[in-house]
Amino acid sequence: MYGLLTWTWTRAAAQYPVSMALLALSTAVFSALDAAAIALLFTRADRIAGFGVDEVLFLYGTSALSFTLSDILLGNTERLGHHVREGTLDVVLVRPVSPLVQIAAEEFSPRRFGKLIPAVAVLAVALARADVAWTPGRAAMVPLMVTCGAVIFGALWVLAAAVQLVLVESHGATKTLTYGGAFLTQYPMTMFARDFVRTATFVVPLAFVNWQPALYVLGRPDPLGLPGAARFASPAVAAALCAVAAAAWRTGLRHYRSTGS
């Protein structure tokens, strides 16, 4: 059903192919500015928090690709607060389709695929240039960390949506979990205070999007001194966070009270 709904919106956008292509291109250009900002930083410094340009671009590429995949699939859930305020969520709830599917697929825009272009390009360059002793384990970790990162971000999108069912005006605050988390994971966590890194590891597990797996791929020690098993914990963390997000979503729906029309 999700595929059917998104295909319907895509066909509607394709009625204006030039506009659709230009929107996707502009999205790609604006998304590439983050990578350009990283490159600009390295014109003034050889290393950032002990990491070279290729290593930071590797973090950027994996984070951006994971976040973009989750944004394409579930990014529209940030519109849920609007439906609650306008009273239109009631219409969504009486339809014989999952409310989460309806909200996520609503006004699906193919322009979001433009964000994939700089993410894939930067990751490809970083992998080609990285000074890594590649093994089958390290090679397999790259697609695994991107997948798990997308699942973690997806769970955060759902959690943020669940909060909006209760706290209607929380749209700005919940962006710190999604867009803020995407920005955070683009840089080495050694840039930040240890207490902040602990929070991003044990409270909101953004460190498992790409930081912990990247330490294994790049052969780096963990600044928090966590055991080596933490480098491989992303699938378990992703599954646990999905369970929390699902419980929060169901709880939010049960406690939802209509605001009327």
Spatial separation of the C-alpha atoms in residues 215 and 208, rounded to whole Å? 10
In a domain, 49, yes or no: yes
What pLDDT does residue 259 have? 67
- Classify residue 261: in a domain, yes or no: no
Task: Concatenate the DSSP letters of all residues of the chain into one string.
Answer: -HHHHHHHHHHHHTTSHHHHHHHHHHHHHHHHHHHHHHHHHTTT-S-BTTB-HHHHHHHHHHHHHHHHHHHHHHGGGGGHHHHHHHTTHHHHHHSSS-HHHHHHHTT--GGGGGGHHHHHHHHHHHHHH------HHHHHHHHHHHHHHHHHHHHHHHHHHHHHHHSTT-HHHHHHHHHHHHHHTTS-GGGS-HHHHHIIIIIS-GGGTTHHHHHHHHT---TT---GGGGG-HHHHHHHHHHHHHHHHHHHHHT------
Give dist(CA 141, CA 189) in Å, integer: 19
Pairwise CA distance, residues 47 & 52, whole Å: 5
Question: Is there a domain that residue 99 lies in?
Answer: yes
pLDDT at 23: 87
Give me the tens of pLDDT residue by residue for the chain, a chain 261 residues long: 888 888 888 888 888 889 888 888 888 888 888 888 888 888 888 888 889 999 999 999 999 999 999 999 998 888 888 888 888 888 888 888 899 999 999 888 888 898 999 999 999 999 999 888 899 999 999 999 999 999 999 999 999 998 888 876 666 667 888 888 898 999 999 888 889 889 999 999 999 999 999 999 999 988 888 888 999 999 999 999 999 999 999 998 888 877 665
Does residue 178 lie in a domain region? yes
Give the total number of structural domains in the chain: 1
Q: Is residue 260 part of a domain?
A: no
pTM confidence score:
0.91
Residue 207 resides in a domain: yes
**pLDDT at position 69:** 94
| 33 in a structural domain | yes
Q: Is residue 259 part of a domain?
A: no
pLDDT at 245: 95
Please give the residue range of the domain that contains residue 17. Answer: 2-254
